[in-house]
Amino acid sequence: MIEEGRIEVYSYGEGAQHSKYVLYWMQQAQRVSYNHALNYAIDQANEYDLPLLVVFCVTPNYVGANARHYHFMLEGLAEVADTLKEKGIGFVLEKSHPVEGVLKYIKDAKMLVMDKGYLRHQRQWREELVQQIKEVVSMTAIEIDTDLIVPVTIASEKVEHAARTIRPKLWRLYPNYDHQPIQDKVKKKWKISLIKNIDRCDMTEDLIRQDYQGLIDSLGVDESVKPSKKYQGGYSKAIETLEEFFEAKLNKYKDPSPVTRNTSRMGMYLHFGQISSLEILKRLYKYVSEQKSAGNYIDQESVDGFIEQVFVRRELAYNYVYYTQGYDQFDKMTDGWAYQTMAMHRDDEREHIYTLEELIKCNTHDPYWNDAMREMVETGYMHNYMRMYWCKKILEWSPSYQEAYEHAIYLNNRYFIDGRDPNGYTGVAWCFGKHDHGWKERPIFGKLRYMNANGLKRKFKM
Ligand SMILES: Cc1cc2nc3c(=O)[nH]c(=O)nc-3n(C[C@H](O)[C@H](O)[C@H](O)COP(=O)(O)OP(=O)(O)OC[C@H]3O[C@@H](n4cnc5c(N)ncnc54)[C@H](O)[C@@H]3O)c2cc1C
């Protein structure tokens, strides 16, 4: 059973006349484990005594994506394809815009299940798809919120002011949504012959052979940002990384040092939906309880600190993009007081100004910033503390706040494996005052929170 709050009905209808399958369009939640949308689709397929087909569409020109993102995503999808096959569920990788790709499979479907997407273009795709389906056939289309612990519309009906306003709501609702989702077996196994009449652009075989480069070549993806040599995608890799984090770093998580770096590296896996935050929390609680039973020391402050990030801060970020229309536009992304203070300091003299090219070449006077940027360009990762510092410095070193914002978003989305995520839009907006409050007034920053290299040296062994 899936909690009702996760389910949104887009339309009702009988579906195709001689239905051959139930269709799940996988997009946000690229995993088999802890995927409420997949579980719901399995239940529906069993109820109608039909097999289940999962379609994933790889879009050649997905907003801002490059070879680094595609590579990581395809590594995860190869594992999804394998696991679904073992379970007797069909999987097709379509090279197509999602709306066109999914529509091809509609004429033989009993119903459509979708996972919830939170960014503007993801929401538009779902609405457009359902609209187009209505023109062809009357069909039930259901969307399931599975990438948040508490569904975004249940947690709050409005944009939240700060972590302190959403935190009590999330914790009050948590007991209603912390159930481990149960995945039934499919009763009717998938057969590829069921889609023999569909004119496909199916790349599943390449995916299963793990020919990622071939796939990337055929998609014509921007290859100027290379795949990360350090980080590998997929559910198994996510679990391995998580377990290493529990063993080696969890007890030191409360230390925010970018030097010792006691973080989980879950951001990239969460971004592609290769792991669910609910599964992370469930595994964390199990690990902590086993360690305590074995008489091992657990640093509760560190555990609580990690839960705060992966649950409260992450779900605050999703709340922000969901309810802020202009979450990616300079003049709409932050609050009135922040715009006021920026207006007052617009003409302050900037000691250093760097172009986008100089930033990408890690060519500033600040060795800490350069190192952080180099790591971002080469590996696709940067520690949370340095992300704040990195963005604050772009604000300080740009001729205008708008240019600073646009450069930060561009670099963030281009180089981070977890770029183009609600957390990224929120993290950058935070540097411009969102979810924060006014601080002591200073040149250029005005009342926006200030960060400098001396602060880094004072706090950490840089
Ligand atoms: C300027 C700036 C840009 C950022 N860009 C991105 C981005 O593009 N994509 C992205 O996923 N995150 C972004 N963040 C948020 C955060 O820095 C990363 O999620 C985190 O560093 C990822 O590394 P980790 O998984 O090792 O983090 P951990 O410290 O191990 O945290 C565990 C998880 O908690 C969540 N989390 C941690 N910090 C935050 C936060 N500040 N806000 C919301 N959720 C958080 C993430 O899901 C993270 O994976 C940005 C933050 C800032 C200040």
Residue for token pair 């389910």:
7
Full residue range of the structural domain in which residue 262 is found? 235-323
Distance 157 CA to ligand 1 centre (A): 24
CA of 328 relative to ligand 1 center, distance in Å = 17
DSSP letter (8 states) at residue 148: S
Taking the C-alpha atoms of residue 58 and residue 80, their distance in angstroms, rounded to an integer, is 14
Closest atom of ligand 1 to CA, residue 390: 1
Look at residue 425 and tell me if it is in a domain: yes
Closest by alpha carbon to 146, among 34, 41, 44? 34
Within a domain: 106: yes
Nearest CA to ligand 1 atom 7: 424
**Please, are residues 114 and 126 in contact by the beta-carbon 8 Å criterion?**
yes
Q: Which two tokens stand for residue 145?
A: 């919120």
Give the integer Cα–Cα distance in Å for 360 and 108. 49
Find out whether the beta carbon of 265 lies less than 6 Å from any atom of ligand 1: yes
Number of domains in the chain: 3
Question: DSSP states of 82-119 as a string?
Answer: HHHHHTT-EEEEEES-HHHHHHTTGGGEEEEEEE---S
404 lines ligand 1 (CB under 6 A): no
Instruction: Tell me, yes or no, whether 2 and 56 share the same domain.
Output: yes
Our answer on whether the CB atom of 414 is closer than 6 Å to any ligand 1 atom is: no
Decide if 445 is inside a domain: yes
- How many other CB atoms are there within 10 angstroms of residue 72's CB atom? 26
Same domain, 277 and 411: no
Cα of 105 vs centre of ligand 1, distance in Å, is 36
Which value, to the nearest 10 degrees, does the dihedral of the CA atoms of residues 318, 323, 329, 332 take? -130
* Structure-token match 């995945």, residue found: 183
Give 138 Cα–ligand 1 centroid separation in angstroms: 41
Q: Are residues 292 and 370 in the same domain?
A: no
156, 19 contact by CB (below 8 A):
no
Task: For ligand 1, pick from 418, 425, 436, 451 the residue to mutate: most ligand atoms within 8 Å of CB.
Answer: 418
Q: Are residues 316 and 413 in the same domain?
A: no
Q: Is 317 in the pocket of ligand 1 (CB under 6 A)?
A: yes
Residue 203 inside a domain? The answer is no
Terminal Cα-to-Cα distance of the chain (whole angstroms): 50
CATH number of the domain at 56, please. 3.40.50.620
- Mutual orientation of helices 314-323 and 163-177 as an angle, nearest 10°? 110
Looking at the structure, do residues 295 and 385 belong to the same domain, yes or no? no
Same domain, 380 and 446: yes
User: Tell me, what's the pLDDT at 63?
Assistant: 74
Q: Tell me the pLDDT of the chain (462 aa) as tens digits.
A: 899 999 999 999 999 889 999 999 999 999 999 999 999 999 999 999 999 999 999 987 777 889 999 999 999 999 999 999 999 999 999 999 999 999 999 999 999 999 999 999 999 999 999 999 999 999 999 999 999 999 999 999 999 999 999 999 999 999 999 999 999 999 999 999 999 999 999 999 999 999 999 999 988 899 999 999 999 999 999 999 999 999 999 999 999 999 999 999 999 999 999 999 999 999 999 999 999 999 999 999 999 999 999 999 999 999 999 999 999 999 999 999 999 999 999 999 999 999 999 999 999 999 999 999 999 999 999 999 999 999 999 999 999 999 999 999 999 999 999 999 999 999 999 999 999 999 999 999 999 999 999 999 999 999
In a domain, 81, yes or no: yes
Domain termination residue (choose one: 77, 112, 147): 147
pLDDT of the residue at 449: 98
* pTM confidence score: 0.98
CATH code, domain with 300 = 1.25.40.80
For ligand 1, what atom is nearest to the CA of residue 419?
8
Site to probe by mutation for ligand 1, drawn from 243, 265, 307, 309 as the one with most ligand atoms within 8 Å of Cβ, is 309
Does any domain span residue 213?
no
Question: Is 251 part of a structural domain of the chain?
Answer: yes
Q: Are residues 308 and 374 in the same domain?
A: no
309 lines ligand 1 (CB under 6 A): yes
Residue 57: strand pairing partners = 94
- Which of helix, strand or coil describes residue 318? helix
Distance between CA atoms of 71 and 158, rounded to whole angstroms?
36
Identify whether 345 is part of a domain. yes
Residue 439's region, left for phi above 0, alpha for psi from -120 to 50, else beta, is beta
Q: What is the CATH number of the domain that holds 345?
A: 1.10.579.10
Cβ neighbours of residue 249 under 8 Å, at least 6 residues apart?
261, 262, 263, 264
Domain finish residue from 127, 147, 167: 147
Same domain flag for 394 and 417: yes
Give distance in angstroms: CA of 267 to centre of ligand 1.
6
Atom 32 of ligand 1, residue of closest alpha carbon: 310
What is the residue type of 435?
A: H
**In b/e form, how buried is each residue of 284-306, taking b as 16+ CB within 10 angstroms?**
beebbeebeeeeeeeeeebbebb
For the Cβ of 271 lying below 6 angstroms from any atom of ligand 1, the answer is: yes
Shared domain for 315 and 348, answered yes or no, is: no
Q: Would you say 120 and 422 are in contact if contact means Cβ atoms under 8 Å apart?
A: no
**Is any atom of ligand 1 closer than 6 Å to the C-beta of 313?**
yes
319 with 381, same domain: the answer is no
Note whether 75 and 216 are within 8 A (CB): no
Do residue 444 and residue 356 come from a single domain? yes
Measured distance CA(70)–CA(226) in Å, rounded: 10
Got the DSSP string for 388-429?
Answer: HHHHHHHHHTSSSHHHHHHHHHHHHHHH-TT-SSHHHHHHHH
Regarding whether 133 and 6 lie in a shared domain, the answer is yes
Select from 107, 108, 95, 103 the least CA-distant residue to 129: 103
HSE, CB side, 13 Å, CA atoms: give it for residue 268: 34
Q: Report the alpha-carbon distance of residue 314 to residue 337 in Å, rounded.
A: 24
| Pairing between β-strand 21-25 and β-strand 52-58 as defined by DSSP bridges | parallel
Atom of ligand 1 nearest to the CA of 317: 43
Q: Which of 118, 147, 176 is the last residue of a domain?
A: 147
Angle formed by the axes of helices 367-379 and 401-415, nearest 10°: 40
For atom 49 of ligand 1, the residue with the nearest CA is 267
**Any atom of ligand 1 within 6 Å of the Cβ of 51:** no
Per-residue pLDDT at 64: 80
- Any long-range contacts for 180-183 (C-beta under 8 Å, 24+ apart)? 180/34, 180/278, 180/282, 181/2, 181/34, 181/35, 181/36, 181/39, 181/146, 181/278, 182/1, 182/39, 183/32, 183/38, 183/39, 183/42
Amino acid (one-letter) located at 98? P
